[in-house]
Amino acid sequence: MLDITEDPKDALLEVNNIEVIYNHVILVLKGVSLKVPKGGITALLGGNGAGKTTTLKAISNLLKSERGEVTKGSITYRGERVQDLVPSDLVRKGVIQVMEGRHCFEHLTVEENLLTGAYTRGSSRGEIDADLNMVYDYFPRLKERRKSQAGYTSGGEQQMVAIGRALMSRPETILLDEPSMGLAPQLVEQIFGIVKSLNEEEGYTFLLAEQNTNVALRFAHYGYILESGRVVMDGLASDLRENPDVKEFYLGMSDEGRKSFRDVRSYRRRKRWLS
C-alpha cells in the first residue's frame, strides 16, 4: 500500500481550488482541490453531476472544445502550470484521459484504434509494436479482435480499447473517467483488476472518476468525494470505506438497516473546502 503524505512535493498532479464555468454562465466546479501522488490510484467519487468528469476534463484541457473554462485556481503537473496547454501538449507530458463512454473510433479496427494512441510519439515502428504487444498481454481479448471494427465490439471490449489506446501514448498519468459505465459487474471487476495490475506492475498513476463507490474504494488508495462542484470529504480509501457517512450515502449501508428513499439526504454535514 502506498504511503500518502500531505507533502505537496509528492504530488505529481495538483489541482488547486479551481472553478469551471461552461458557456460563460454555468458554474460547475466551485473550488475543487486535489492531489494525485505518483504511483497511486486516486479516486474521484460522487453522484451524477457532481463534477467528476468536469474535473478530469479541466486537467486534460478537453474543456475548451466544450466551451468550458477554468476561471480560477491552478492546475500543476510536476510543479508546472498546465492549464493553458492544448490537449496534445499534455499527452506529450504524459497525461492522457480515457473519456467517459469509451469514445472509440468506430470505423477504425481495434488495432488502428490502439495505434492512434501513439500519435504524439516519434517512436520507431519497432517500439510501437512492442507496446502493442504489451497492451495485448494485458487485454488478450483485444488481440483476438484486432481486425474487427471497434464499433462492432462489445462495451467491455471498447473500454479495453479505450484504456489500451491511452497506454499506447506511454503515459505517466491516466485520467480514467467512469470505466464501469454500462458494464456487467463481472467485467467491472476485470477492468479494475487490470487497472490495479497496470498500477502495480507498470507504475502508472491513475486518477479515476467513478460513481461506483464500492468498487472504486476497494481498488483505490485515496479518495475524494465531490458533491455539486465541491470536495466534501477526502481520505485514505480504507478510511472512507469505514466512514459511517460514506457507508450511508454512497455504499448504501447503514447501522439502522435498510432505508427508504424518503430518508435519503444529500451529504451536507461536515462539508469542507480544501484550499
Partner 1 sequence: MPEQLVFAMEVFLNGLMAGVLYALVALGFVLIYKASGIFNYAQGVMALFAALTLVGIMEGQVPFAHLINAMLGTEIHHFGWHVPGVLAILFTMAVMVGLAWIVNTLIFRHLVNQEPIILFMATIGLAYFLEGFGDIMWGADIKKLDVGLPQGINLWIDETTFNIFDYGFFIDNLDIVATVVAALLVCALVIFAQYTKQGRAMRAVADDHQAALSVGISLNFIWVMVWSVAGFVALVAGIMWGTKSGVQFSLSLIALKALPVLMLGGFTSIPGAIVGGLIIGVGEKLFEFGFGPMLGGATENWFAYVLALIFLVFRPQGLFGEKIIERV
Residues found near partner 1 in the complex (CB under 8 A): 60, 62, 65-67, 86-88, 90-92, 96-99, 103-108, 112-113, 115-117, 119-120, 149, 151-152, 165-166, 169
**Shortest distance, CB of residue 64 to partner 1, whole angstroms?**
9
Buried b (16+ CB within 10 A) or exposed e, 201-230: eeebbbbbbbbbbebbbebbbbbbbbbbbb
Buried b (16+ CB within 10 A) or exposed e, 97-120: bbbbebebeeebbbbebbbebbeb
Q: Residue 61 CB: number of other CB atoms within 10 A?
A: 22
**Shortest distance, CB of residue 63 to partner 1, whole angstroms?**
11
Which residue lies nearer to partner 1 by CB, 30 or 64? 64
- How far is Cα 109 from Cα 104, in angstroms, rounded to an integer? 10
Which residue lies nearer to partner 1 by CB, 67 or 72? 67
**Shortest distance, CB of residue 207 to partner 1, whole angstroms?**
14
Q: At what angle do helices 185-202 and 125-138 cross, to 10 degrees?
A: 130
Which residue lies nearer to partner 1 by CB, 171 or 223? 171
**Shortest distance, CB of residue 255 to partner 1, whole angstroms?**
43
Which residue lies nearer to partner 1 by CB, 119 or 273? 119
Which residue lies nearer to partner 1 by CB, 115 or 181? 115
DSSP code, position 38 = T
Which residue lies nearer to partner 1 by CB, 66 or 144? 66
- How far is Cα 176 from Cα 40, in angstroms, rounded to an integer? 13
**Shortest distance, CB of residue 208 to partner 1, whole angstroms?**
16
Residue with cell 458494464: 183
**Shortest distance, CB of residue 169 to partner 1, whole angstroms?**
6
In contact, 42 and 224? CB cutoff 8 Å: yes
- How far is Cα 234 from Cα 240, in angstroms, rounded to an integer? 8
